[in-house]
Amino acid sequence: MLSMHTSPLAQPGTGDGGGMNVYVRELSSALARAGVTCDVYTRATAPGQPASVAVEPGLTVHHLVAGPPAEVPKGRLHTLVDAFAQAVEAAMETAAESGGPAEVIHANYWLSGVAGHALKHRLGLPLVSTFHTLDRVKAEASPEELDPEAPGRRANAEAAVIECSDAVLASCTVEVDQLVDLYGADPGRVEVVAPGVDHAFFSPGDKAQARRALRLEERAPILLFVGRIQPLKAADVALRVLAALRAGGLDGARLVVVGGPSGPRGEEEYVALRGLAVALGLEAAVSFVAPQPHELLSTYYRAADCCIVPSRSESFGLVALEAAACGTPVVAAAVGGLTTLVEHGRTGYLVERGDVAGFSAAVEAVLSRPSLAAALGERAARVARRYTWPTAAARLASLYEDLAARTLVECA
């Protein structure tokens, strides 16, 4: 399992850590528990990091030296892909001596995909790719995040990896369409494997108790935003919704923002959000909370009356799934995988991205009608039960086995 640019052991919500960290960690863990040995290779980002961490039986995370053992801006990581691929190849040879040879390479994100593409041909192993986000989708949603030095670099690399992957994983049917329409992917090699949620942590609970644990007002309407602070996640929409609700009479409403700056414009966006809170007169009504250990997020979901997910694009939307699993209604942008997770009017609401008035109306409906909120939350929790990591792992283990027995896909 390749995860070059971020370790599954990193704190989600910090740096480049987010849903992909959760995905790699939870999926690898579920695979290991299903009997599929997983070695996860990531780049060392600090001096003195342990070379290998045995997370649990069958799952080891390896920190490989590829470039300086320090954080490197994401826009420069492509210069280290060759060094990372070489380090992975050497580490795989060592692992093969003690635990047997690898049978499949599974790359996560485009940087790992480029490394995996090279390793496929060097080692003669099938390549599975999960992209998590796609450059040609992000270009439409957040053109300011394109690399100005080489705006086509990532998209062209993704296209090459997709062409040569023996299987490309999509989280939902919307992502399948994006891969086929924007990249010309062979539909016969695109497999839908939905991420899961750990229901041992993310399940309905006592709202009052959750609020006491977080020292939140027990009677105030509480909105929640969870995610990395970057333009793509559109946290500013949540602040504007709060301002609209308070102006409309819900003057006791509060917003909790959980997450930290991420990406090249993260710090700038965080400062802008704090400034927006001041400009809207919300300083006392908005709580900015540092990124939390993943399992502790369930307390925030349970404490909230409504979770707002206003992203400009989302390949899947783990936050929406986790909130739903906790029985919290979700109001989300009608983009990407969110359209498959939220059933409009039944488990939550879908709103056109950036439509503050639409978000405000949907959130107000949830807050003003407790019986509706309860019904939405109950149905959302039931739907969320369909998504489990063991289910994803079982589907993927079968795919790995099939690929290991097939002839490799040839590419230019």
User: Using one digit for the tens of pLDDT, what is the confidence trace for 211-261?
Assistant: 999 999 999 999 999 999 999 999 999 999 999 999 999 999 999 999 999
Residue whose C-alpha is closest to residue 287's, from 302, 309, 304: 304
Q: Kindly report, as residue ranges, where domains of CATH 3.40.50.2000 are found in the chain.
A: 19-196+389-404, 207-384
Confidence (pLDDT) at 412: 61
Write the DSSP assignment of 192-250 as a string of letters. E------TTTSS---HHHHHHHHT--SSS-EEEEES-BSGGG-HHHHHHHHHHHHHTT-
Q: What is the pLDDT of residues 38-97, one digit of tens each?
A: 999 999 999 989 999 999 999 999 999 999 999 898 889 999 999 999 999 999 998 877
3-state secondary structure of 257: strand
Burial profile 213-248: b = 16 or more Cβ within 10 angstroms, e = fewer = ebebeeeebbbbbbbbbbbbbbbbbbbbbbbbbbee
Confidence (pLDDT) at 33: 97
Going residue by residue through the chain (412 aa), what tens digit of pLDDT does each one get?
999 998 999 876 666 667 899 999 999 999 999 999 999 999 999 998 999 999 999 999 999 999 999 989 888 999 999 999 999 999 999 887 777 889 999 999 999 999 999 999 999 999 999 999 999 998 877 676 666 677 789 999 999 999 999 999 999 999 999 999 999 999 999 999 999 999 999 999 999 999 999 999 999 999 999 999 999 999 999 999 999 999 999 999 999 999 999 877 889 999 999 999 999 999 999 999 999 999 899 999 999 999 999 999 999 999 999 999 999 999 999 999 999 999 999 999 999 999 999 999 999 999 999 999 999 999 999 999 999 999 999 999 999 999 999 888 887 6
pTM: 0.93
* CB hemisphere CA count around 40 (13 angstroms): 28
CATH architecture of 207-384: 3-Layer(aba) Sandwich (3.40)
Residue whose C-alpha is closest to residue 119's, from 95, 134, 140, 102: 102
How are strands ordered across the β-sheet holding 52-56? 38-43, 59-64, 52-56
Written as six digits, the tokens of 198 are 């750990």
Question: Which numeric CATH code is attached to 19-196+389-404?
Answer: 3.40.50.2000
Neighbours of 2 (CB within 10 A): 29
